[in-house]
Amino acid sequence: MGEVIAAAKVKSIVIYPIKSCRGISVLQAPVTSTGFRWDRQWVIVNEKGRMYTQRVAPNLALVEIELPNEAFAEGWEPSSNSFMVIRAPGMDLLKVSLVKPRAIIDDVSVWEWSGSALDEGDEAAEWFSNYIGKTSRLVRFDTVSQTRSTNPDYAPGYKTMFSDEFPILLISQGSLDDLNMHLKEQIPIDRFRANIVVEGCKPFSEDLWKEIIINKLTFCSVKLCSRCKVTTINQQTAVANPELTEALKGFRSDIILRPNNNPKGKVYMGQNLVWKDCYGEGNGKVIRLGDPVSVLRQVSSTADAAA
């Protein structure tokens, strides 16, 4: 295995139950084959079954999600009294049962994937339709009948639910601190919607990591995260400001970082992960705040990382 380098520790863990809505900061989170439990398990879709995200509905940034505290204990299962609670400005509180619904909706699509999903019912549909201002339904990934594979060019054999591409996104506090030195107005880490934030390493160290261990769980870094319009949206106000994109173009674009790799003007912030041993057996598959992050393998430069 070679030398194991203690590189950082886990500063925060965030779960995003509904795609493009606010996350939940937790003390610990169980890891599954599709990422953290509950993460991007729900998505809001239009009348054609296509996903809504902050790209077209920026006010989703203001939708707050609450799950029972015990939902993040390993092995916990919901009962008829277990709910996801949803709040948003100007809206009544919405409660969605965590017991899986029976109704199925077909032709749901998230990026390249399409399939069926579990329909959370008319009350949730009306709530999101009123909030977004367009016909909407809230649906849940059907883990029993559906599979959404990750891009086989980067992570063959792995799967996710309704995340953009891969199950887990990691970023370092040092990277954010470095970025903020390039900005007129400081931004918080929530702009990047990462699941794991680590601290104690140099800025952009995560670019180089190929294989890491957190609490005896091994994760593979599969692709630098190219950033989109959502990072420009203030997650507290839902107002966009293009300054962030312009700043990233100045020092985090593929033109600068990867000039010999067919650059296309993408900008990078964060690293996508898959859990290497996700189909193994046993307990203890939990990541906690403060867990050390050790590097098993890394590349020598960002130009050598997959992107």
From 145, 168, 186, the end of a domain falls on: 145
Residue 156 lies in a domain: yes
Say how far apart CA 169 and CA 53 lie, in whole Å.
Answer: 17
Q: Model confidence at 282, in pLDDT bands (50, 70, 90)? A: low
From 145, 180, 198, the end of a domain falls on: 145
Residues 11 and 159 occupy one common structural domain: yes
- The least confident of 27-31, 199-203, 228-232, 283-287 is 283-287
Residue 31 lies in a domain: no
Say how far apart CA 2 and CA 296 lie, in whole Å.
Answer: 7
Q: Model confidence at 283, in pLDDT bands (50, 70, 90)? A: low
Amino acid at site 174: G
Residue 30 lies in a domain: no
Stretch 94-103: mean pLDDT: 94
Q: Model confidence at 187, in pLDDT bands (50, 70, 90)? A: very high
User: Is the model's pLDDT at 263 over the cut of 70?
Assistant: yes
Task: CATH number of the domain at 290, please.
Answer: 2.40.33
Residue 159 lies in a domain: yes
Residues 71 and 112 occupy one common structural domain: yes
User: Is the model's pLDDT at 64 over the cut of 80?
Assistant: yes
Q: Which of 108, 161, 93, 168 has the alpha carbon at shortest distance from 138?
A: 108
Q: Model confidence at 1, in pLDDT bands (50, 70, 90)? A: very low
Residues 105 and 213 occupy one common structural domain: no
Give me the number of domains the chain comprises: 2
Residue 254 lies in a domain: yes
Residues 287 and 224 occupy one common structural domain: yes
Residues 186 and 290 occupy one common structural domain: yes
From 145, 160, 184, the end of a domain falls on: 145
- The least confident of 2-11, 34-43, 221-230 is 2-11
Q: What percent of the chain has pLDDT over 70?
A: 97
User: Is the model's pLDDT at 3 over the cut of 70?
Assistant: no
What DSSP line would sit under 103-167, residue for residue? Answer: -EEEEEEETTEEEEEEE--HHHHHHHHHHHTS--EEEE--TTT--EEPPTTTSTT-EESSSSSSS
Residues 208 and 282 occupy one common structural domain: yes
- What does the pLDDT read at residue 39? 98
Residues 300 and 155 occupy one common structural domain: yes
Expressed as residue numbers, the domain containing 130 is 38-145
Q: Model confidence at 278, in pLDDT bands (50, 70, 90)? A: confident
Residue 26 lies in a domain: no
- What does the pLDDT read at residue 229? 87
Stretch 65-83: mean pLDDT: 96
Residues 251 and 103 occupy one common structural domain: no
Residues 68 and 131 occupy one common structural domain: yes
| pLDDT one-digit tens code per residue, 113-140 | 999 999 999 999 999 999 999 999 999 9
- What does the pLDDT read at residue 279? 73
Q: Model confidence at 150, in pLDDT bands (50, 70, 90)? A: very high
Residues 127 and 236 occupy one common structural domain: no
Residues 70 and 130 occupy one common structural domain: yes
Q: Model confidence at 6, in pLDDT bands (50, 70, 90)? A: confident
CB neighbours (10 Å) of residue 303? 15
Say how far apart CA 8 and CA 206 lie, in whole Å.
Answer: 10
What is the chain's mean pLDDT, rounded?
A: 95
Residues 102 and 213 occupy one common structural domain: no
- What does the pLDDT read at residue 5? 66
